[in-house]
Amino acid sequence: MSEDSGTGEKALYFVLGAFIGAATALLLAPRSGEETRQLLASKARDGADFVANRSKNVADKTAAYIERGKEILQQQRDQLQAAIEAGKQAYQEEKDKAKG
């Protein structure tokens, strides 16, 4: 899971760097102010959409990991409870043998 988060961070830094580089290039490009502002607004919306989608994907994966963890924990609890019950039953059987 930490490998996924490292990859996600690298991708985020790459996108941020690309965005900053693109914004700098656009500001220095020979376009009118209105064209540049429209282009920057469009790129900002695209970036916001990317981040929102990426966040949703991460949230979905996190929810899946949490759900899987809960399932494993429940299995462990069930196994432990079964072992305790088997131990109680074996104790009771031995106790009954000793009496009889």
Query: Which residue type occupies 58?
Result: V
- pLDDT value of position 4: 57
Q: Report the predicted TM-score, pTM, of the whole model to 2 decimal places.
A: 0.47
- pLDDT value of position 34: 84
Query: Which residue type occupies 71?
Result: E
The mean of the pLDDT values for the chain is 86
pLDDT tens readout for residues 59-73 = 899 999 999 999 999
Structure tokens at 20: 């900053």
User: Would you tell me the crossing angle of helices 2-28 and 33-99 to the nearest 10 degrees?
Assistant: 170
Give the range among 8-12, 16-20, 25-29 with minimum mean pLDDT. Answer: 25-29
Q: Delimit the domains of the chain by residue range.
A: 2-99
Contact status, residue 23 vs residue 43, Cβ threshold 8 Å: yes
Asked if the model's pLDDT at residue 15 lies above 90, the reply is no
Asked if the model's pLDDT at residue 51 lies above 80, the reply is yes
* Residue from 80, 35, 74 nearest 43 by CA: 35
